[in-house]
Structure 1
Amino acid sequence: MSDFQNMQFQQAPQPVPTQQQNDPLSDPVMQPKPLSTNSNVMYCRDCGSPMPKNAVVCVNCNYVMNPQAFRQTQMSIHEQQQQQETAMKIRRFLRVITGAPPEPDYSQPITPRNYRFQTIGAVHCTNCGNEIQDGASVCVNCQYVLNPEAVRRAQMLVRDRTAKLDRKDLIKSLIVPFYGRKMWRQNKDRRMQIAKPCHIAGMINSGIIGIIILLLIIFG
């Protein structure tokens, strides 16, 4: 048997799978991302109809998607109407002076629309069009953030509830004067699981210091 036949090929070492950490902040609900397949399309918050991403008003239900742009458009239309009225007055004045035959006045027809700035009835996600609960901060269908401030506060709440006491801080509270009181003030409102042990350790430290001072006074 040749040496080539005796050769053994060793397999490359397989990577050891790492265990995922159970981090509450890794929850897709807490860190949502928009999953829209078309970045140029959004959906009406009131009726769920698709529309261009930069649309100002929904053409289906007349819901105002961008109030600031809508106000600017209304101001522009008002200025155009004023210019048309001024031009018509000038033409009438010239016809009176020159004696030209009157011409029919043409004006731009304005169709009244029932524009709405507040959502009524069903509410739909602006990213996927799925019906959601009124006041929801995240769409449960596509995880799109509807209220970033509410999501940020929820993430802060999760971090506060899952925070753990560092052993170094506990030892410092027990040894360093007034360190436990400092930790108490910093964490008493949001992280009581950290503030309370440090406060107890700080009280023990103060008691030990008091006893030492008392012994020095008596036997000093």
Structure 2
Amino acid sequence: MDRAFIFDVFGTLVDWRQGIADAAREAFGCRGLSVDPYAFADHWRACYDPAMERVRSGSRGYVPLDLLHRENLDQTLTAMGIADAFDEAARNALNRAWECLPPWPDVHQGMDRLRPFGLLAPCSNASIALSARLARFAGLRWDAVLGAEIAQDYKPRPEVYLAAARAFGLGPEQVVMVAAHNRDLAAARAAGLGTAFFARPTEYGPGQDRDLKPEEDWDLVARDLADLAGQVARRS
């Protein structure tokens, strides 16, 4: 195939907030802790970009996202005042919640409809190990697992998008980045890729105030992944 669609995963294809909150609720219930699982999920996720920025800036060498998540978990447990309730084994188990996130309802149909028109792969900040296990859990059928680890850097650095294109033997103009995040698409466009957007208006909860609409004239704008696949089919 001479075309590929590469995807942001956390937020675009899977509901990280609900998945992490569900795992936290179970862990807290076993320990008799009264902590808001959504606040816990939000805090853990808020550590995500600052941790990656240390790698992007060069102040830290590349390490896989699994390790950053684990370090961020320690920070979050401390911030929530519940660090003493989780030993090393319990922390490692909770960290694996990122491998067990539910897909949004339109994802399977959308991927199946899109598959005839190009190769499909994640272009996620997740490690290959994390991406593969999450794909098994969420039923994401990929042609390859690409993203940050093959580039040894984190989005939105251009090399992450360009490495994905090279891995498929394609030029950036033959690859479409699919994301529910305008910042991700802006970086992909700057690297020469095509762009496709649909919103996930509850990714950050009911008070979400970002990525509710396209902020640039992206190549494709859809209601969801199934609608995006329909648009691609009509244009092909």
Place the TM-score, normalised by the shorter chain, in its bin.
under 0.3
Q: Which has the higher helix share?
A: 2
Q: Which has the higher strand share?
A: 2
So what's the TM-score if we normalise by structure 2? 0.24
The higher relative CO (CA closer than 8 Å, separation ≥ 6) is in: 2
